[in-house]
Amino acid sequence: GDSVTQMEGPVTLSEEAFLTINCTYTATGYPSLFWYVQYPGEGLQLLLKATKADDKGSNKGFEATYRKETTSFHLEKGSVQVSDSAVYFCALSPDYGQNFVFGPGTRLSVLP
């Protein structure tokens, strides 16, 4: 079945450091790919998405590129802030169904 794998956390960075969170997926067809973010005590919010190969999603300084050849959707940010501390979930939506499949989440802590 479809699945999403992402790097295990927690990830701890200093403010203004470069961030990469790796995400790879297994799916048939052409899924849409997403990054969701969960701030402490809150629900999940969409951070960015990409619906086809080579699309780049971007929001709030974060970006991720849909790479079909490597089945990856790595999240990057050039300079993280303390306010970026949260749990980040990579997810896919298969093109044949309506369910979303989530990765296990990566907790990011940014220190001042």
Edge to edge, what strands does the sheet with 62-65 contain?
A: 19-21, 75-77, 62-65, 56-59
Instruction: In whole angstroms, give the CA distance from residue 9 to residue 88.
Output: 10
What minimum distance in Å lies between the beta carbon of 50 and other proteins?
Answer: 11
Q: How far is the C-alpha of 41 from the C-alpha of 61, rounded, in Å?
A: 23
What residues line the site for other proteins (CB under 8 A)? 32, 34, 36, 42-46, 49, 51, 87, 89, 93, 97-105
Of 32 and 108, nearer to other proteins (C-beta) is 32
Q: How far is the CB of 13 from other proteins (least distance, A)?
A: 19
Q: How far is the CB of 18 from other proteins (least distance, A)?
A: 25
* Nearest distance, CB of residue 39 and other proteins, angstroms: 11
Contact criterion met (CB below 8 Å) for 47 and 88: yes
Nearer to other proteins, 15 or 52 (CB): 52
Measured from the CB atom, is 42 or 69 closer to other proteins?
42
Q: Are 84 and 108 in contact (CB under 8 A)?
A: yes
CB-based contacts of 41, cutoff 8 Å, min separation 6: none
